[in-house]
Chain A
Amino acid sequence: MSERPTFSPHWHRVAATKPRLRPHVQMTRQRYRGRRWHVAHDPASNKFYRLSPVSHEIVGLLDGVRTVEDAWKIVVEKHGDEAPTQPEVIQLVSNLYNSNLLSIEASPETEQLLRRQKDRLVKKVQGQALGIMYFRMKLFNPDGIISAVEPVLRPLIGRVGLAIWAAFILFTLSRLAGHTEALAGGFKDAIAPSNWGWLIAVYVLAKALHELGHGVICKRFGGQVPEFGTLLLVLVPSPYVDASACWGFASRWQRIAVGAGGMIFELFFAAIMAHVWLTTSPGMLMHQVAYNAMLTAGLSTVLFNANPLMRFDGYYILSDMLEIPNMMQRSFQHLQYLIQRYVYRLDDVTPPTTDRSEQVTLTIYGIGAMIYRVVLFVTISLYVMGKMFAIGLILAVWTAAAWFIMPVGKLVKWLSSGPKIAEHRGRVIATTLGLVALGAVLIGVIPMPDTRRGVGVVESELRSGVFIGETGFVRESLAYPGDAVEAGQAIVVLESPQLASQLAMARAQLAEFESIEREATATSPSAVGVARERVAAAKSAVAFLEKRAERLVVRAPHAGTFIGRDPHELIGQLASIGQVLGEVVDTDNVRIAAAMTQLEAAWLFDVGEKPRVAMRPVSRPGVVVKGDEIRAIDAGQAYLPHASLGFAGGGTIRTKQDDSSGLQAETAQFIVYVEPIANEDWHGVPGERVHLRFRLSAKPLAVQWVDRLHKLIQGRVQL
């Protein structure tokens, strides 16, 4: 803990002043973790300032007649060590003063006022410039709209309303539960480019409702909503309202309600749309639009707004739930404190809070938010770079500057001239260099597994059709689709009364001819020749019929897996010769074919690279199959091995829009073949999708990253 010196050399600047809170400042009492706090709110500038009870007492004593010195003395008299020290009072007074919450009898010097204005502007511009990933634009004051809507909804805002809402959502979910397949199936159509126009329209509507939700609830509990604007989130516009007035609410449930208001309204909208979707029939325009609305409103709420790791609704809700105001900032401060205290071993540092459980929460949240930021940054940058390289690059560099270079610069400055570490500068710098070196070794020297991913489809080199060999009624079915079958194993047994009687007749005839032949041998040798010929003819007729009868048992032509229609469905039906029953596929000799772009497959041509492959069939998520013998077929092959890899078939590769087969990729592809190693648990069924993981030889992460980035850029430059 750092010392708290009683006196400040600058005390004289405030001691004799007689400030007082500006008359319009509103004070509300809030409780956080069982402790009382006071929030000063200036509705004019929408500024907030949180005060501890003792600070609040001082501010209360400042009535414009009493001097700061006197107020301080009163508080010291009363609270002893609990009372703020002179530096703390100065901090308090200057903070309030600079937030325009405190007025001081004499007019402030004009220069100071102007400079403050300028500082604010500069800060705002800087903030905007650094945060191009979320650029704010104020549009208008939505108070008119909100004031019009709020009285209508007022009776519903409360417990009853919430209960109705919850019931409605649950009811909707239960209705939707029966239509999961249709729900999943619609997704493909919804994200098809042709639908984007509708998506955008519905998105705007849903988000407008969302913001209206915040606004109305905020208004309901007495807050003002002075600003509506649009936020360019990674260049995607999304509307916002300024509902920060809710920070002044005394009840935390009201604050939570405002935070959740957007999602409540949006989910309600999604639920209504779900019912529309359920009642309309496929093919109707309304059906598709409702689906879109459900998708955007429902999904974006859950994925985006509810996420507490960015400063969206979820963050504010969580922060109020945990009763930790300013959670993001304070968790970073806390991490900073932890590093200073335990990594740099500085003893003159103060944590932002002394509450144990709050510290734990801040630590967990801080680390989570950090990791999330980095991951989000990398994915978004790479994604945008993949789409629009130049813009992505600018965005990445810019954000890197804001998120990484600035903190590093601050660190360097702190190391070189931070007054707190003046005494241990050598040690602190050594520690930092040690950590940097450790990081460099981890990233740049120690080999790490290098894996690349892809999606493939099972292909078989040997596959035969299973046909009905003889017309007959299906009597029995001995295999199901997907069963492994041996060569010659019966799959379906048919019966043909006609054939049976023909065979019986032929057999009877043969018996007759044989007896005639025996007679002739004994009685008239001249007739023997003829009789033998007849026997032979009859025998061949029997043999022919027997063969046909044998074909009533449909057998697997070779070992493999039987696929096709389930023959059990055919029992009792007449099946005519030549009818296709299914296929037997040689599953011992399947291969996986994956399509990759030139860039994705570039590592294949690295000299000396012998990747190991692991595959996870989509149908059997738990199973891992190994593979080897990787071969790649020339670039320029614009046909995919299977339609399921393409965009049209639900895959990830863009296919040409005019191609009805869904096989023609937009860009040149490499076809990569992998031989799976036989595995008891899984027999690849042709057409099945498989996730591939290529494990290349281990190399340091830095090499891997440079390699990937290099290839990415190389690909772009060629374009």
Chain B
Amino acid sequence: MTTVDANLSRYHALFETVRSRRRALETLKGADQFVAWGALKLRQRRSRLVVLLEWATQVDSMAPEVRSLPETALDREIEELRGAFVRGRVNHGQVLRAMAVVREVASRATGEEAYVVQLAGALALVHGRIAEMVTGEGKTLTGSLAAPLLAWRHRHLHVFTTNDYLAERDEESRSRIYKRCGLTSGAIVQEQSPVERAGIYARSIVHGTPKQITADYLRDQIRMGRIDSAWAGWQRLGSEGPLVPGLQACLVDEADAVLIDEGVTPLIIARSRHEDELAPAYERAREIAGELEQDRHYLVDTLRKKVKLTAAGRAHLGAMVTDENWATARRAEELVRQALIAEHCYIRGRQYEIVDGRVVIVDEYTGRFLPDRSWEHGLHQSVEAKEELEVTADRETLARLSFQKFFRSYRFLCGMTGTAADSAGEMERVYGRPVTVIPTNKPVIRTQEPTRYFRGAEAKWSAIVERIRQEHDTGRPLLIGTRSVEASQLLSERLEVLGLKHSVLNAHHHEEEANLIARAGEPGAITVATNMAGRGTDIKLTPDSRRLGGLMVILTELHGARRVDRQFIGRAGRQGDPGGAAIFASLDDELVTRFVPRLGAWVAQRANYDELTGSRVATKVFALAQARSEGRDRRGRTQVMRQDDWVDRYMPG
């Protein structure tokens, strides 16, 4: 590349970054919201499912002709279409034609021939929709049909998925298609250096996780500061352009996980405070907290992760905090409260793990470690004090960006997922993207057993282990889902005692992930996994295991959202394979104790048997707990959006 070209592309990147920043939308309120909703409904009529399927059939009918094209002719055709797309002058016919061509390219490159429903899905993506396709329907292929068209049209396309492993895997398997379409591609993963990243971001199609790309974008924003024109940026940054060349188009795989679940916590970039000498304060606060009695001195609200001091507690605290120079009365109370929250609401193996003497947060939805993250405003330090680790310096926020705002800054957004219908309303409201449910190609023949409810954890685990043994005896491969690292380890111990050979996939073992998944479909395999295996994981069955009834998924706990359960179960019975799923839940589960503690305890007390399966009351309790949990998360996301709006509107800068 010549210097001029490099400068040009850097300037362009600056220009696009500034543009993306300005693009942030406002959340509509009141009547505006209604009008926007109506307009959306009206617009989406043009690309309803019926219409999409009709178009897909048309694309399909072009297949024989496209298939017969020799390689050179195909390349010429691609070049022509690409030109049209880049210039932004495409008509509907050309879109369909391009789709047929890319389908053929995919077929020649990977041997995968897209079905009509996959074409419909890809067309939905091209039209900026969220396509719901049943898990295991080959979303990856669908995405790779739409991606070239979008990359042509929008110059840069970001393809999001939930974890680095999937990002790398998808990029690798799709790169041949992209290449043939005249596109470059790459995947952004944790370990890369900024220089490497810059090279990858310059490519047309970039796979990655929202955490990585958002963080890069946010770092760019910090560097750019308050500049509001590309020229000013050019002056200020000189040769160091932004990493992410603007937010232009994105295709979100697992859209509900990325767009909805991640929305609860905004991304924060922080640096350690230099002048922080509060470490002893956290330890002292922890000591004081240890002397307070629950219910007498303080009340714990596990649902909201809050602690409230009673009058007695406050008096006690006042008596103890006398000579500390670090604390005014309010600050002391705050620190002690935080210590109590760390004590009661944060449990090792659930919210965090200790790795190499450091507290590492475990992502609630993906079950993975978040090594770069820490809780804000001293909570992290309180947890460190609780675990008697070295208290690190409190971190100071440099920038903050919610995923909602980030994704809304894209000029073009589309996505696909196995479970979007639950959150269709939110997709429409927040992102203005309608959800289309694409029918399955092959019927799902997974056998879903009714959920089994138990009074206590012990009874549940016995039943689970019993079930594992039964199923294992038939030789069927088993995937057992646990909600936390802690639970996966407990189950592993039990299986160990019984001499059942198994492997464990949790955040501690993420290096072995690909390996474990590859073997999970073999006959006789028992894989105990946290949510890490819950999304996007494709467990390939051997012919033997298919004959034995396919993969059996056992879920040992209900999750906070029904979507997550459905995702996990979706690991079995993919693409028409046989499979089975069973769910076990008990009234001791965190879901119940956190969201409906009193009702749960009452039902447990009144129950006559250990097993409550089929009991209408028990079913209701769990349904209520899940509804509350979902509601809580939804409110959290709304809150984040509101704050965003407020900040954008009223804060200087």
Binding site for B on A (CB under 8 A): 3-7, 9-14, 17, 19, 80-81, 90, 93-94, 97-98, 102, 104, 106, 108-112, 115-116, 119, 417, 419, 422-423
Contact = CB atoms under 8 A, between A and B. Distances in A.
A7 B378 CA distance: 10
Contacts of A110: 228
Given A12-B396, A81-B329, A109 B647 contact: no
A713 to B, nearest CB: 29
A7 B638 contact: no
B652 A94 contact: yes
B638 A417 contact: yes
B653 A106 contact: yes
A442 B334 CA distance: 47
Given A81-B330, A417-B638, A422-B635, A13 B653 contact: yes
B22 interface: yes
Given A12-B397, A109-B226, A417-B638, A104 B652 contact: yes
B651 interface: yes
B76 interface: no
Contacts of B447: none
B398 interface: yes
Contact of A94 (B268, B377, B650): B650
A94 B651 CA distance: 5
A19 B652 CA distance: 9
Contacts, number: 78
Interface in B360-382: 376-378
19 contacts: A3-B334, A5-B377, A7-B377, A9-B377, A12-B397, A12-B398, A12-B400, A17-B653, A81-B329, A94-B650, A94-B652, A106-B653, A109-B653, A112-B648, A112-B649, A116-B649, A419-B639, A422-B632, A423-B303
B313 to A, nearest CB: 14
Nearest to A12: B397
B94 interface: no
Interface in B395-410: 396-400
B397 A423 contact: no
Contacts of A4: 330
Interface string B617-653: 0000000000000001001001100010001111111
Contacts of A93: 652
A92 to B, nearest CB: 12
Contacts of B442: none
A121 B396 CA distance: 38
Interface string B299-321: 00101100000000000000000
Given A10-B643, A419-B639, A108 B653 contact: yes
Interface of B: 22, 226, 228, 266, 268, 301, 303-304, 328-331, 334, 376-378, 396-400, 632, 635, 638-639, 643, 647-653
Contacts of B639: 419
Contacts of A94: 650-652
Nearest to B642: A419
Nearest to A8: B377
A3 B330 CA distance: 9
Contacts of A119: 649
A108 B648 CA distance: 12
A77 to B, nearest CB: 10
Given A4-B330, A10-B643, A90 B651 contact: yes
Contacts of A115: 649
Contacts of B635: 417, 419, 422
B228 A109 contact: yes
Nearest to A79: B328
A112 B649 CA distance: 7
A111 B22 contact: yes
A12 B651 CA distance: 11
Contacts of A423: 301, 303-304
A72 to B, nearest CB: 13
Given A5-B377, A9-B377, 17 more contacts: A5-B334, A9-B400, A9-B643, A12-B397, A12-B399, A14-B651, A19-B652, A81-B329, A94-B651, A108-B652, A109-B228, A109-B653, A110-B228, A115-B649, A119-B649, A419-B635, A422-B635
B650 A98 contact: yes
Contact of B651 (A13, A80, A111): A13
Contacts of B226: 106, 109
A105 to B, nearest CB: 9
Nearest to B649: A115
Top 9 nearest A-B pairs (CB, nearest first) are A80-B328, A7-B377, A12-B397, A94-B650, A81-B328, A104-B652, A13-B651, A106-B226, A81-B330
Contacts of A3: 334
A9 B376 contact: yes
Contacts of A116: 649
Contacts of A106: 226, 653
Contacts of B266: 9
A7 B380 CA distance: 14
Nearest to A96: B652
Contacts of A7: 376-378
A106 B652 CA distance: 10
A108 B650 CA distance: 11
B625 to A, nearest CB: 15
Given A12-B399, A14-B652, A106-B653, A6 B330 contact: yes
A244 B22 CA distance: 37
A10 B400 contact: yes
A111 B226 CA distance: 13
A404 B649 CA distance: 28
A712 B334 CA distance: 63
Nearest to B634: A417
Contacts of B22: 111
Given A12-B400, A81-B328, A419-B639, A6 B334 contact: yes
A14 to B, nearest CB: 7
A6 B652 contact: no
A500 B329 CA distance: 113
A90 B397 CA distance: 15
Nearest to A111: B22
Contacts of B400: 9-10, 12
A422 B595 CA distance: 13
Nearest to A413: B30
Nearest to B638: A417
Contacts of B378: 7
Contacts of A5: 334, 377
B29 to A, nearest CB: 10
A394 B474 CA distance: 78
A9 B399 CA distance: 9
Contacts of B303: 423
A13 B399 CA distance: 8
Contact of A10 (B334, B632, B651): B651
Nearest to A109: B228
Contacts of A422: 632, 635
Contacts of B648: 112
A98 B653 CA distance: 12
A410 B256 CA distance: 31
A136 B64 CA distance: 73
Contacts of B649: 112, 115-116, 119
A106 B396 CA distance: 22
Nearest to B331: A6
A4 to B, nearest CB: 7
Contacts of B651: 10, 13-14, 90, 94, 97
A475 B376 CA distance: 110
A276 to B, nearest CB: 56
Nearest to B222: A12
A97 B653 CA distance: 10
A9 B644 CA distance: 11
B652 A9 contact: no
Contacts of B397: 9, 11-12
A11 B395 CA distance: 12
Contacts of A17: 652-653
A385 to B, nearest CB: 28
A326 B387 CA distance: 51
